[in-house]
Amino acid sequence: MFMKLQAKSSETEFEMKTNNRIAAIDIGTNSFHLVIVEVQPDGSFKLLDKQREVIRLGSHKGEDLSLISEGEIEKAIDILKNYKMLAEHYGASIRAVATSAVREADNKDKFIKAVKEKTHIEIEVVDGRTEAKLIFYGIMNAIDVSDKNVLCLDIGGGSSEFIYAEKGNPLITESVKIGAVRLSKKFFPDFILKKEAVEACHSYVEAQISYIKYLIEGKKIEQVIGASGTIVAAAILVQELFNKPKRKSINKLSFTAEELNFVYKEVIGRKTPAERVSLPGMELKRADIIPAGLIILKTIFDVFEIKHITLSEYALREGIIYDTILKLTSAKN
């Protein structure tokens, strides 16, 4: 575990049980993630269990991601009940963090209250910059970034995070409202691709990330690192379509701009989810929203002239773990 970063943890009250086990729940837009770890004496952590469930918060009603439907609330509660049972099985203390879909929903208070009443889980809703910081905390525990300048990317369901760090110090942490679920709802509501909609989506993403381009202009970037959903999905498609050797872990897996362009053309050339499912390496539950995700990723590659990206196995959920360890350590000192 790379501990060189000096950082302040969040202000959330948290008490860890005496067995040093933490269950981090990432309440995302596309999916919910659970990671259960045991904190070691040196401050590192050992993975005990992990789970993922696709949910698509805010995708069924309202404009943009403005409303979490009753059905989505019920499904969320069912998933979180199961996560709580698993955390209790391991005797782990729970910390749950919600991102884009919850923080933007007009009925987020109703959602948080319903979850608390049915599961007794307290949800912590973080802003975009805090989300970006937590993602970086996860990445720095999977890849050593202490001696280089890096640009980190995470394309989620509701938003995309950009982190520029120099020698382990995150100087720019930004979140942009472009995600695979959000842009599918906006440009491809039936998940069928039309040329005009694809072009409009590209233009929209380029406009949304122009401010990030301005912020990072002139920075010397030595490595680009990607984490989570769309980027992992793209890497797996590259692995399959180019017949690369199978690996047990995605950590430090990489692909080039040329490989991404090939995957992009293969996916965008298939107009319907049914056609896209036939692609080797395509996840069934991502075949509908993968075009929007790849449009975001390809546009970022083009705008920032990225030639190569390396994957981090860790992202927001591991960042929650690290942030919690930081908080507990600072409380003791």
Is residue 284 domain-shared with residue 149, that is, in the same domain?
Answer: yes
Residue 1 within any structural domain of the chain: no
Per DSSP, what are the bridge partners of residue 149? 166
pLDDT number for residue 4? 36
Is residue 169 domain-shared with residue 115, that is, in the same domain?
Answer: no
Range of weakest confidence among 59-63, 140-144, 254-258: 59-63
The CATH number of the domain holding residue 176 is: 3.30.420.150
The CATH number of the domain holding residue 40 is: 3.30.420.40
CA-to-CA separations, 265 to 270, 271, 279, 320, in angstroms, rounded: 9, 11, 12, 35
Is residue 195 domain-shared with residue 300, that is, in the same domain?
Answer: yes
Q: Strand 169-176 to strand 160-166: parallel, antiparallel, or no bridges (unpaired)? A: antiparallel
Domain tally, the chain: 2
- pTM check: above 0.85: yes
Is residue 124 domain-shared with residue 151, that is, in the same domain?
Answer: no
Is residue 55 domain-shared with residue 91, that is, in the same domain?
Answer: yes
pLDDT band at 7 (very low <50, low <70, confident <90, very high): very low
Mean pLDDT, the chain, integer: 93
Calculate mean pLDDT across residues 221-246.
96
- Taking the C-alpha atoms of residue 37 and residue 32, their distance in angstroms, rounded to an integer, is 17
Calculate mean pLDDT across residues 300-327.
96
Indicate the residue type of 4: K
- Taking the C-alpha atoms of residue 99 and residue 130, their distance in angstroms, rounded to an integer, is 9
Calculate mean pLDDT across residues 91-108.
96
Which residues, other chains included, contact 152 with Cβ-Cβ below 8 Å and sequence gap of 6+?
A: 135, 136, 139, 161, 162, 163, 164, 165, 224, 225, 226, 227, 312
pLDDT tens figures, 28-77: 999 999 999 999 988 889 999 999 999 999 887 767 778 999 999 999 99
Burial group, residue 35, by CB count within 10 angstroms (0-12, 13-18, 19+): buried
pLDDT tens figures, 156-169: 999 999 999 999 99
pLDDT band at 15 (very low <50, low <70, confident <90, very high): low
pLDDT band at 14 (very low <50, low <70, confident <90, very high): low
Residue 8 within any structural domain of the chain: no
Is residue 59 domain-shared with residue 153, that is, in the same domain?
Answer: no
Residue 124 within any structural domain of the chain: yes
pLDDT tens figures, 281-291: 999 999 999 99
Which domain does 299 fall in, by range? 144-312
Residue 63 within any structural domain of the chain: yes
pLDDT band at 1 (very low <50, low <70, confident <90, very high): very low
Instruction: Choose among 255, 252, 232: nearest CA to 242.
Output: 255
